[in-house]
Amino acid sequence: MRGMRNILVTGGAGFIGSNFVHYMLEKYPDYRVVVLDKLTYAGNLDNLRDLEQEPRYHFVHGDICDIERVEQVMREYAIDTIVNFAAESHVDRSLMEPGAFIQTDVVGPDVLLESARKFGVERYHQVSTDEVYGEILEGRARETDRLHTRSPYSASKAGGDLMCLAYFTSFGVPVTITRGSNNIGPYQYPEKVVPLFITNAIDDIPLPVYGDGSQMRDYQYVLDHCEGIDVVLHRGQPGEIYNLGTGVEVCNLYMAQLILQLLGKPQSLIRFVADRPGHDRRYALDCSKIQSLGWRSRHTFEEALEKTVRWYVDNPWWWRKIKSGEHYRAYYARQYGSRLQE
C-alpha cells in the first residue's frame, strides 16, 4: 500500500483504537492520524492525553452513523485510509440493550463504507472479532467457516462484516477484515474481565467468575493485535478476512488464579456467580492465514497478563476515575448486585 498518509481511526478513544493510534504514530513518522469518536462511556480522552501536542494527531468528536460528520472529516483531512474500531463492544451490555449495538456495529460500518466508496479510499479496514464464529467446541475457526453468532454483540459485528464484503463485491471498495481474539493491555475499560478482575483484586473485592470458570478464550496482548492490523493494512489482500490471535486458549478460572497470584492476593477472592445467558464456551482461531503474511504474536498469555497487571498497578489514576464514576457504579450494581448476593 503506497501513499498512505491520512488515516481515519474511528473509535480511537477506546481501548484498542487508542493503542493503535499510539502504535501507528510511533511507527510511521510520515502518517497523520485523525480520530473520530463519539466518546460513549467507553471512549476516554485520557487514553490519548499524551498526544495532545502531537501535530500529526487530530481528534474529532462525532458519531460514525452521522454521514455528514463523516464526510466532513473525509474532506477536511483528505482521508485515504479508514480503520474502524468504533463499536459497542461488551457482550453483557448487548444483553441489556441490543439496539445500540445494531446502530453502531451495523449501521455505522455502512455509513463509513458509503463514504469510503464516495471518496475512493485506498483501504477500508474493519476491526472484527472471533465471536462471529460462535462457540468453537472443537478445533479452530477458519476464515471460510460459517458464522454462528449467539449474542446481540456478535450478531451485530457479523452484520458489519457482511456489509464490508458486500461493498467489496458490489462496489469494489478495497476492504479488509481482521477477526481478533480477546485483547488485554493498557486502557481497557474495567467492564471486560481482565481489567475488572485486576482492579477488583487490587482493592480486595471479589472476582465474579461466571458459571464454573471453564470457558476458554484466546487472550492476546493489545499491541500484538495492533501490529496484526498494520500487517493486513500493508500486506493484506482487499476482499480478504484474517483471523488474528495467539492460537492458544486458557480457561477463565486459570486467568483469575494467575491474576491473584501475580498480585499476591488470596485465591479466596474468587466468587463463582450466575452464568452469562448463552455464554460461549470456547473461542479458538486458526491464524495460519495472517501468519503467512509474516505476523506472529509476540507475547504468550502469561507475558501479556503480567504486563497488563503491572500497567493497572502503575496507573490507578486512569481506572479509579472510571470505577468511582456514577455510570460505572450503576452498571456494576445492575450486572453484579444480585449475582454477588446469591
Pick from 148, 147, 265, 131: nearest CA to 207: 265
What whole-number distance in Å separates Cα of residue 263 and Cα of residue 217? 21
What whole-number distance in Å separates Cα of residue 298 and Cα of residue 171? 37
Residue 302 annotated as catalytic: no
Residue 16, classified by CB atoms within 10 Å of its CB into exposed (0-12), middle (13-18) or buried (19+), is buried
Residue 130 annotated as catalytic: yes
Q: Kindly write out the interface string for residues 184-223 of this chain, putting x where it contacts ligand NAD by CB under 6 A and - elsewhere.
A: -----x----------------------------------
Residue 332 annotated as catalytic: no
Choosing from 252, 270, 299, 305, the residue that interacts with ligand TYD (CB under 6 A) is 252
Report the residue number, 180 or 208, with the smaller CB distance to ligand NAD.
180
CA 140 to chain centre: 20
* Neighbouring C-alpha atoms within 13 Å toward the C-beta of 278: 14
210 makes contact, choosing from ligand TYD, ligand NAD, none, with CB < 5 to 8 Å by partner type, with ligand TYD
* Pairing mode, strands 250-251 and 216-217: antiparallel
In angstroms, give the least distance from the CB of 11 to ligand NAD.
3
Report the residue number, 217 or 225, with the smaller CB distance to ligand TYD.
217
201 makes contact, choosing from ligand TYD, ligand NAD, none, with CB < 5 to 8 Å by partner type, with none
Q: Kindly write out the interface string for residues 21-50 of this chain, putting x where it contacts ligand NAD by CB under 6 A and - elsewhere.
A: ----------------xxxx-xx-------
* Pairing mode, strands 207-210 and 57-61: unpaired
Report the residue number, 32 or 38, with the smaller CB distance to ligand NAD.
38
What whole-number distance in Å separates Cα of residue 47 and Cα of residue 61? 15
Choosing from 208, 228, 236, 245, the residue that interacts with ligand TYD (CB under 6 A) is 208
What whole-number distance in Å separates Cα of residue 336 and Cα of residue 340? 6
Active site residues: 130-131, 153
Which residues here bind ligand TYD, judged by CB under 6 A? 91-92, 131, 182, 192-193, 196, 208-210, 215, 217, 252, 276
